[in-house]
Amino acid sequence: MRKIALTGIKPTGILHVGNYFGAIKPALALADEYDTRLFIADYHALNTIKDPKELSANIRQVAAGWLAAGLDPEKIIFYRQSAVPETFELTTQIMAFTSKGLMNRAHAYKAAVQDNTEKGDDPDAGINMGLFTYPVLMAADIILFDADVVPVGKDQVQHVEMAQDIAQAVNFNYKQQVLKVPQAVVQEEVAVVPGLDGRKMSKSYGNTIPLFAPEKELRKLIMRIVTNSQGVEEAKDPDTSQIYLLYKLFASAEEQQALAKLYRAGGMGWGVAKEELFRVVNRELTPVRERYEAIMADPVTLDGILAKGAAKARPIAAATVKRFRKAAGID
């Protein structure tokens, strides 16, 4: 039997090239080794996004984006968290086994409190219970699907450890393995994708290459990459060049060697390197963009894919909730 991998995708904005290499590609590769479950964590996003139009658009764009990037819904169970109501029953079930102190120690909550304190505000200003209990909902997402491994970035490891604690507390109390205890897997080898200004590519820095930018915009963005003031004739170091670091993500080994040679030889201006970067980025992203546009233009099919995913997910979820009820004497 293959082990089960699960991860959640918070629909908080337009996908970019950093998400593509840092999250989407590694998650899709999991399916070679694991029974994989991926879901759109829409109730997690509700904690911060209160505009219904914005939330609804984010959910659709992110779902379409993952499908366009190659998620095969026949191989991976792909669903919306909100379409699996068992999530919220399990959340209530495990609340009774989650100490309040554990939530007080959650990084995201602590950071918000510290922020308030530094500003001289009430410590809990602007903090809703959704944010405070975020780790319990996330534990339910994970435990519901008997996940063995949960691939996440470093910032989410603490949450997975809390899910472990909670599952163990339940199993200890009922003296049986009611819930599977998950393991976090940190994807160390995934490099940070640089943005247009050299910092980490991130929505919050406004330095992203959106994954589905139309060709014209893509070219404009690439031409905007910050370079140093070296002249055309000077030999250049590929390994410290933003353009080359991005190029490596999109180009073949031969292409990389050829461009590195041009850098070192001198006589190549930054404009030429940018044109070459645009060529390979556009080559990779054009089919992804075309699939994305086709999926977004056909909402009925998109809804159908997500509904099918939920139909596969729910019996698994129902079995977990039932196991808990039985163990707890609520059957």
| Least distance from ligand TRP to the Cβ atom of residue 151, Å | 8
- Partner residues linked to 6 by β-bridges: 37
Question: Do the Cβ atoms of 211 and 16 come closer than 8 Å?
Answer: yes
**Of 140 and 288, which has the nearer Cβ to ligand TRP?**
140
Stretch that binds ligand ADP, among 11-19, 54-62, 119-127, 277-285 (CB under 6 A): 11-19
Residue 291 touches ligand TRP, criterion: CB under 6 A: no
Residue 210 touches ligand ADP, criterion: CB under 6 A: no
Beta strands at 77-80 and 149-152: parallel, antiparallel or unpaired: unpaired
Question: Do the Cβ atoms of 57 and 49 come closer than 8 Å?
Answer: no
Tokens, residue 28: 């899709």
Looking up tokens 């160390």, which residue turns up?
A: 188
**Of 6 and 166, which has the nearer Cβ to ligand TRP?**
6
Question: Do the Cβ atoms of 35 and 4 come closer than 8 Å?
Answer: yes
Q: Using the rule CB under 6 A, which residue among 19, 27, 37, 44 binds ligand TRP?
A: 44
| Identity of the amino acid at 318 | A
Q: How many residues bind ligand ADP (CB under 6 A)?
A: 14
Question: Do the Cβ atoms of 211 and 17 come closer than 8 Å?
Answer: yes
Residue 87 touches ligand TRP, criterion: CB under 6 A: no
Query: What positions carry a catalytic annotation?
Result: 119, 200, 203
Looking up tokens 């510290």, which residue turns up?
A: 114
Residue 41 touches ligand TRP, criterion: CB under 6 A: yes
Stretch that binds ligand ADP, among 16-24, 50-58, 236-244, 292-300 (CB under 6 A): 16-24
Q: Using the rule CB under 6 A, which residue among 27, 45, 142, 281 binds ligand TRP?
A: 142
Region class of 55: left (phi > 0), else alpha (psi between -120 and 50), else beta? alpha
Question: Do the Cβ atoms of 65 and 212 come closer than 8 Å?
Answer: yes
Stretch that binds ligand TRP, among 1-9, 46-54, 89-97, 245-253 (CB under 6 A): 1-9
- Interaction site with ligand ADP (CB under 6 A): 12, 18-19, 21-23, 153, 192-193, 200-204
